[in-house]
Chains A and B, each alone.
Chain A
Amino acid sequence: AQSVSQHNHHVILSEAASLELGCNYSYGGTVNLFWYVQYPGQHLQLLLKYFSGDPLVKGIKGFEAEFIKSKFSFNLRKPSVQWSDTAEYFCAVTDSGYALNFGKGTSLLVTP
């Protein structure tokens, strides 16, 4: 089964700073890629997803992610973070369609 690596476990940013969270996966075939967000005390919510086509995908709340096949990466970006973006962010991948494999998550703290 493929694995998913999120390199940054904890990130602290000031409001208005730019964000980039790294995600790499191990599988070389066709994959579907996702970013989920978990706000404190809430369930995981889908931020964005990539299936095919334009490698730059836009999601909710101003987030976007770029799929770079040659690097097996799907990094999440946001040009200017807000305090309300404080949350845990999870990258996930599926190749089989049976289940998503998740990375261990990145905890983002945005300070005023």
Chain B
Amino acid sequence: DSGVTQTPKHLITATGQRVTLRCSPRSGDLSVYWYQQSLDQGLQFLIHYYNGEERAKGNILERFSAQQFPDLHSELNLSSLELGDSALYFCASSVQGANYGYTFGSGTRLTVV
């Protein structure tokens, strides 16, 4: 157990639907990062939040959004889902920034059918 908790572990949904993925960072970590892992694209950085504020955006689609709440947990919202959104979505956390690396959660496997 890494200390970073992601729920649910698996999610199957239909095209056009909306889902919410949840992440609780390791105790004491203020930064949360979201990544998408697919076979063809590898690990793609989506977005970074620090203490409730968005700090950096990567290759995140406009259909996707995220937020970090006062208790520091984060949610990644994926809407108008397409087959190509099927992937593993990882959350990671760190005390502050990325310079010392992150701790990853176990991921949510999303399957869009």
Report A's interface with B, CB cutoff 8 A. 32, 34, 36, 42-46, 49, 51, 90, 92, 94, 96-105
Contact = CB atoms under 8 A, between A and B. Distances in A.
B48 interface: yes
A44 B90 contact: yes
Chain B: number of interface residues, binned into ranges: 20 to 34
Contact of B98 (A43, A45, A90, A99): A99
7 contacts: A45-B104, A49-B100, A49-B101, A97-B97, A98-B98, A99-B48, A104-B43
A18 to B, nearest CB: 26
Interface of B: 2, 4, 33, 35, 42-43, 45, 48, 55-56, 58, 90, 92, 97-107
A6 to B, nearest CB: 9
A43 B48 contact: no
Given A98-B55, A99-B48, A46 B42 contact: no
